[in-house]
């Protein structure tokens, strides 16, 4: 197994301090795997985060991005950071919803469907997520939501029945369950593999943001986008605690300051994406549909049943989360 040190390419810069004593200030490079392509606003936000750290530390800490699952595939990123193969990484929080339902709170259909509620949900979820990750030697740095999730299909969808039998692309266990409950057949596909999954017929429909729809040129393989605003799932950037502790305190501070700015900037970028990327899909010939009341009612009923199941499986932690959210 590769250790974290193989990823810390140290260039020793000799620094001379008083009395002619010499210490080694080591400039480090941190490899950072991320799951999504470069044009994704999350990736661009992380590139700015990396630049902020490099600027603030005068190059003493450089973060080298490995995007689109190029260093570690998305499902491996969390454990790569946990195991110390890399010191830092990004992943989709709800991807690990099977580890603990709290990680999947932001993907519960119709629980939080706008930015204000998503923020409230994150405030309620954050301390529990931080605690769970802490037990794995990880520390969250920041988390940013995707725009509200909509429905991409090859025909107009007026009711839940119209979705029966469709091969659905899923990106986490919650969406897999949702797709099953609406009568579809789900398959897990990562964003970089989306166009191929559609063109080869592995999948025929998906639920994702206008960001991912526009960036993967959804108009090449589907015709309709129905704006169901089902939930706002989040990405999270985590650091290996041991690696973080090894940093000089001034550098630790620079990382935390850059992380706080990245979270704030990321939420704003996300809000701007929604309209901008929906417009791009429209310009490329996609039919943008407002959902029928009947479709929404059907989907929301499934959401309600899923929330009851979620509460049962999430126990006391889930109860505390919902209580904080509903306050
Ligand atoms: N895009 C990512 C996660 C949610 C989103 O909007 C995806 O489709 O996998």
List domains and CATH numbers for the chain. Answer: 28-326 (3.40.190.170)
pLDDT tier, 26 (very low <50, low <70, confident <90, very high otherwise): confident
pLDDT at 92: 98
**Tokens linked to 149:** 């999730």
Q: What is the mean pLDDT of residues 234-241?
A: 99
**Ligand 1 center to 82 CA (angstroms):** 23
Residue nearest to atom 3 of ligand 1 (CA): 208
Q: Tell me how far apart the alpha carbons of residues 6 and 28 are, in angstroms, rounded to a whole number.
A: 11
Q: Tell me how far apart the alpha carbons of residues 93 and 233 are, in angstroms, rounded to a whole number.
A: 8
Query: For helices 249-283 and 41-56, what crossing angle results, to 10°?
Result: 150
pLDDT digits (tens, 9 = 90+) for 284-298: 999 999 999 999 999
Quick check: CB of 94 below 6 Å from ligand 1?
Answer: no
Quick check: CB of 231 below 6 Å from ligand 1?
Answer: no
Cβ atoms < 10 Å from Cβ of 12: 10
Q: Tell me how far apart the alpha carbons of residues 228 and 247 are, in angstroms, rounded to a whole number.
A: 45
Quick check: CB of 233 below 6 Å from ligand 1?
Answer: yes
**Tokens linked to 93:** 């929080």
Residue nearest to atom 6 of ligand 1 (CA): 209
Quick check: CB of 72 below 6 Å from ligand 1?
Answer: no
From the centroid of its chain, how far is CA 23? 40
Alpha helices in 89-167 (DSSP H): 115-134
pLDDT at 21: 41
Quick check: CB of 41 below 6 Å from ligand 1?
Answer: no
Q: Which residues contact 46 (CB under 8 A, 6 or more apart)?
A: 32, 34, 65, 90, 237, 262
Quick check: CB of 91 below 6 Å from ligand 1?
Answer: no
Radius of gyration for the chain, computed over Cα atoms and rounded to the nearest angstrom: 21
pLDDT at 25: 58
Residue nearest to atom 8 of ligand 1 (CA): 208
Q: Is the pLDDT confidence value at 19 over 80? A: no
**Ligand 1 center to 306 CA (angstroms):** 20
Q: Single out the residue of 303, 281, 278 nearest to residue 160, CA to CA.
A: 303
- 93: number of CA atoms within 13 Å, CB side? 31
Q: Tell me how far apart the alpha carbons of residues 87 and 150 are, in angstroms, rounded to a whole number.
A: 34
Q: Single out the residue of 215, 241, 192 nearest to residue 35, CA to CA.
A: 192
Nearest atom (ligand 1) to Cα of 171:
9
Q: Tell me how far apart the alpha carbons of residues 317 and 104 are, in angstroms, rounded to a whole number.
A: 12
Q: Tell me how far apart the alpha carbons of residues 322 and 327 are, in angstroms, rounded to a whole number.
A: 9
pTM of the model: 0.92
Quick check: CB of 191 below 6 Å from ligand 1?
Answer: yes
Q: Please report, for the chain, how many H helices and E strands are present, in that order.
A: 10, 12
Q: Of all residues in the chain, what percent are helix, strand and coil, respectively (each to 5)?
A: 50, 20, 30
pLDDT digits (tens, 9 = 90+) for 191-228: 999 999 999 999 999 999 999 999 999 999 999 999 99
**Ligand 1 center to 17 CA (angstroms):** 50
Q: Single out the residue of 39, 42, 61, 58 nearest to residue 50, CA to CA.
A: 61
Q: Tell me how far apart the alpha carbons of residues 167 and 185 are, in angstroms, rounded to a whole number.
A: 5
From the centroid of its chain, how far is CA 18? 47
- 233: number of CA atoms within 13 Å, CB side? 28
**Ligand 1 center to 312 CA (angstroms):** 26
pLDDT digits (tens, 9 = 90+) for 47-83: 999 999 999 999 999 999 999 999 999 999 999 999 9
Beta carbons of 275 and 288 less than 8 angstroms apart? no
Beta carbons of 53 and 254 less than 8 angstroms apart? yes
Q: Is the pLDDT confidence value at 149 over 60? A: yes
Beta carbons of 44 and 269 less than 8 angstroms apart? yes
pLDDT at 11: 40
């Amino acid at each position: 197994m590769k250790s974290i040190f193989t990823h810390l390419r140290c260039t020793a810069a000799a620094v001379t301090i008083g009395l002619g004593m010499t210490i080694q200030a080591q400039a480090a490079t941190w490899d950072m795997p991320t799951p999504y392509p470069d044009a994704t606003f999350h990736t661009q936000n992380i590139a700015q985060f990396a630049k902020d750290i490099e600027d603030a530390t005068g190059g003493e800490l450089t973060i080298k991005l490995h995007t689109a699952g190029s260093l570690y595939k998305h499902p491996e990123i969390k454990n790569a950071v946990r195991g110390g193969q890399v010191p830092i990484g990004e992943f989709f929080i709800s991807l690990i919803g099977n580890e603990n339902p709290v990680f999947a709170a932001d993907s519960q259909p119709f629980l939080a469907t706008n930015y204000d509620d998503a923020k409230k949900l994150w405030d309620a979820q954050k301390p529990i997520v931080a605690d769970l990750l802490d037990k794995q030697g990880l520390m969250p740095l920041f988390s940013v939501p995707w725009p509200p999730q909509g429905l991409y299909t090859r025909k107009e969808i007026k009711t839940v029945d119209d979705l029966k039998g469709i091969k659905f692309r899923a990106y986490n266990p919650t969406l897999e369950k949702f797709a099953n409950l609406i009568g579809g057949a789900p398959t897990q596909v990562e964003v970089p593999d989306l166009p191929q999954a559609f063109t080869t017929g592995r999948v025929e429909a998906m639920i994702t943001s206008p960001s991912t729809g526009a960036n993967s040129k959804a108009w090449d393989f589907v015709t309709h986008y129905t704006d169901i605003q089902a939930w706002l799932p989040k990405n999270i950037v985590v650091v290996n605690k041991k690696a973080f502790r090894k940093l000089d305190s001034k550098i630790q501070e620079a990382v935390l300051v850059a992380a706080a700015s990245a979270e704030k900037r990321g939420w704003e970028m996300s809000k701007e994406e929604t309209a901008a990327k929906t417009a791009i899909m429209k310009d490329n010939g996609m039919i943008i549909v407002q959902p029928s009341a009947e479709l929404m009612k059907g989907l929301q009923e499934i959401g309600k049943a899923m929330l009851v199941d979620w509460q049962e499986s999430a126990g006391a932690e889930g109860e505390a989360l919902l209580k904080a959210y509903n306050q």
